[in-house]
Amino acid sequence: MKSKAVQIAALVLGLVAAASMQDLSPAAMGVKPPLVAIVVLFVALRMPTPFSLATAFVAGLFVDALSGRPTFCATSLMPLLALGVRLYREIPGERSIAAVGAVAASLGAVLGEAWIAVFGFATGDAGLFVRMCAATCIAAPIGAMLFALLPHLAKCIGLEDE
């Protein structure tokens, strides 16, 4: 396990990379892949609650800054997603990390689209239901893939023990 400073630096770099890739990715029906939300969900499953909530808040600031929406939009959503996945973690049972990633990313994307619609900042011509369906179709495979890859990446850079 590396020091907390190294963990925080790696996490900030990862969030900046995810936010940049999310902002630069093409939109399908006004929906972009929720890369930052997936990183927040992954951190919320792996790290203590205060650390994951701070990460979620900073991630929300990145998303709001890059998207041009008001500061409170994603900044309020990301901690809610982190708390939700922390509650999900308490449910007993054995689950595949890829399945958890697909479910968490899908639910997070649908909630994110509803949250954006509540704030009145939905983009594109598609209605809310179509945007939610598109968000699920985009988020599920990306969430499954990233949840399967992120533990290996964390071990490779020394953030988690073998």
- High-pLDDT (> 70) share of the chain, %: 91
Q: For 111-155, how does the pLDDT look when each residue is reduced to its tens digit (9 = 90+)? A: 888 887 777 766 666 677 887 888 888 888 888 888 888 888 877
pLDDT-derived band at 3, boundaries 50, 70, 90: confident
Phi, psi angle pair for 28, to nearest 5°: -105, 115
Instruction: Tell me the mean pLDDT in the region 83-102.
Output: 80
Residue 99 counted as domain residue: yes
Residue 161 counted as domain residue: no
Residue 162 counted as domain residue: no
28 DSSP β-pair partners: 31
- Residues 6 or more apart whose Cβ sits within 8 Å of residue 88: 100, 104
Mind giving me the DSSP string for 54-97? HHHHHHHHHHHHHHT--THHHHHHHHHHHHHHHHHHTS-S---H
Residue 93 counted as domain residue: yes
pLDDT-derived band at 1, boundaries 50, 70, 90: low
Domain residue limits at 63: 4-156
Q: What is the CATH number of the domain that holds 138?
A: 1.10.1760.20
What is the domain count for the chain?
1
pTM: 0.83
